[in-house]
A and B are shown apart, each in its own frame.
Chain A
Amino acid sequence: QSVLTQPPSASGTPGQRVTISCSGSSSNIGNNVVNWYRQLPGTAPKLLIYGDNERPSGIPDRFSGSRSGTSASLAIRGLQSDDEAIYYCASWDDRLNGPWLFGGGTKLTVL
């Protein structure tokens, strides 16, 4: 099962800005928008960003997304301790013919 490529880990100190990358191909990120999710242990993934850079209501503007070519990024500014979680990117994949091709996940640690 192919997945989008994310770094397995990332870290930052409170107040910092961190970015998490997500790399794909022309069959997914290159031609389709990206969603980002945050998952805390034992809970369902929570949507942070959809359509590359749209935030659902209730998601603070500390979270932002971008997409360029076959890569996407999630930026978190003003890092807080409760941002510590696993972050997943996802995109429609034309070969999979489905809406959710996920990344392997990035564990964000707040130092």
Chain B
Amino acid sequence: QITLKESGPTLVKPTQTLTLTCTFSGFSLNTDGMAVGWIRQPPGKTLEWLALIFWDGDQRYNPSLRTRLTIAKDTSKNQVVLTMTTMDHVDTATYYCALRTDSGRDYWGQGTLVTVSS
């Protein structure tokens, strides 16, 4: 059974750096074709893809947020970490991590709400 779970702070201050961890089970990120990514959803709005890391370490970023994002994997811990710098009120959102397999099938975590407020 594949599961993913997001963890991290629920509240960050403007200008701070956000670090989120996705801990997964039921698959290995060493397996060909596997990739784990992050998606966010501001309250009442649609979804926005942020970053993705493939089994081979290849990283992809949303161009509009590229300068603020870093994604990394720790296969020994079954974790993927996302950092986002210079947080702002507009970054308040529910952040999801998700597995994308080479067939295009997704598996999503439950999400974690991050509020940016002073």
Contact = CB atoms under 8 A, between A and B. Distances in A.
Given A35-B104, A96-B62, A44 B47 contact: no
Interface of B: 35, 37, 39, 46-49, 52, 60-64, 96, 98, 100, 103-111
Given A44-B108, A45-B108, A99-B100, A3 B60 contact: no
A98 interface: yes
B26 to A, nearest CB: 14
A83 interface: no
A51 B103 CA distance: 7
A101 B106 contact: no
Contacts of A51: 103-105
B48 A47 contact: no
Given A97-B60, A98-B60, A50 B104 contact: yes
Contact of A96 (B63, B98, B104): B63
